[in-house]
Amino acid sequence: MFDNDYFTEAELSCRCCGKNNFKDKTLRRLVRVRELYGNPMIVNSGYRCPAQNTRLNATMTHATGQAVDVSVALSGAHKLLNIALEEGFTGIGVKQKGSIKKRFIHLDDLDSIPGKCIRPTVWSY
């Protein structure tokens, strides 16, 4: 499933334990975004095991294997957002203030599950 030209299994694995349950469907969507984006995309978080997710005190989106955080800012962030929306990412989290190096965009393609996660949606950090 990690047979693609852009993203390695390692960069999409849990940072604490190396586990990787990243969903194939989401990876294929990410590869389409990368092809349209045309520049390297730096992944700072992909799959997270539930324990790591709890340590980070985050919502469970990354534990589903359908979420990724990409380090990006300014015009790159604008371009990535456009493409991600076109390609059907349904959860968009935007961190675009403070240090340029710490800016990122969260993308996930979770489905709408009543009472669990409302999609499509967008939020800021």
Which residues of the chain form contacts with Zn ion (CB under 5 A)? 14, 16-17, 49, 52, 69, 106
Ranges of beta strands (E only) in 1-125 are 42-45, 67-71, 91-95, 104-108, 121-124
Least distance between Zn ion and beta carbon 93 (Å): 6
Give the nearer residue to Zn ion in terms of CB position, either 44 or 79: 44
Element (H, E) at 86: helix 74-86
Least distance between Zn ion and beta carbon 57 (Å): 13
Give the nearer residue to Zn ion in terms of CB position, either 3 or 77: 77
> Cα–Cα distance between 87 and 21 in angstroms, integer?
21
> Cα–Cα distance between 42 and 110 in angstroms, integer?
21
Least distance between Zn ion and beta carbon 80 (Å): 14
Give the nearer residue to Zn ion in terms of CB position, either 37 or 52: 52
